Amino acid sequence: MQKILVSSCLLGNKVRYNAGCLSLQRADLDWLETHCELVVFCPEQSAGLPTPRAPAEIVQGQGIDVLQGRAQVLNNDGSDVTQPFILGAEKTLTICQSLAIKYALLAEGSPSCGSTVIYDGSFSGNKVKGAGVTAALLEQAGIQVFNQYSISQLKAALAANA
């Protein structure tokens, strides 16, 4: 059974910045639980960030820019949380590598886990194309990243590589 890393918040765990959670559609969750071994992980909590915590966004870039030292992750009060976000990404990659995980299902929009869309760093609710810090690091390491809206693509990838 293929192991899949899954953002903890997608499974109803209240680990998001606002102590909330997200959820997958019941049919998708049932399929994943039947066909995959789910490894549940939250990069931000693994790095020691509290729940709840201030909202954070990547300022002047996206995840790859943070990893290359060209952008920062800031809280809405201006405090710099770049290092915990990088640490969380590194811990996530370590888990994936140690368990030979090739696929990750991460929460879209997050400055850690967003895979196609993140907030623009202005704290105004604007979204831009881009990936969060964890998603960027995993993709850089060859791990395919999906989000709660692309589960059909994850299923197709799993079928193609079965």
* Per-residue confidence (pLDDT) for residue 7, from 0 to 100: 97
Query: What's the predicted TM-score (pTM) here?
Result: 0.96
Tokens representing 93 are: 């990659």
Residue 162 has pLDDT above 80, yes or no: no
The stretch 64-72 carries a mean pLDDT of 97
- Give the Å distances, CA to CA, from 39 to 32, 36, 96, 118: 11, 9, 9, 23
Question: Residue 104: is it exposed, middle or buried by C-beta count within 10 angstroms (0-12/13-18/19+)?
Answer: buried
CA distances 148 to 4, 53, 84, 106, 110, Å, are 13, 23, 24, 7, 12
Which of these, 2, 9, 5, 139, lies nearest to 62 by C-alpha position?
Answer: 139
pLDDT mean across residues, the chain = 96
When pLDDT is cut at 50, 70 and 90, the band that residue 21 belongs to is very high
Q: Which two tokens stand for residue 85?
A: 């976000």
Q: Cβ(50)–Cβ(72) under 8 Å?
A: no
| Encoded tokens for 57 | 């966004």
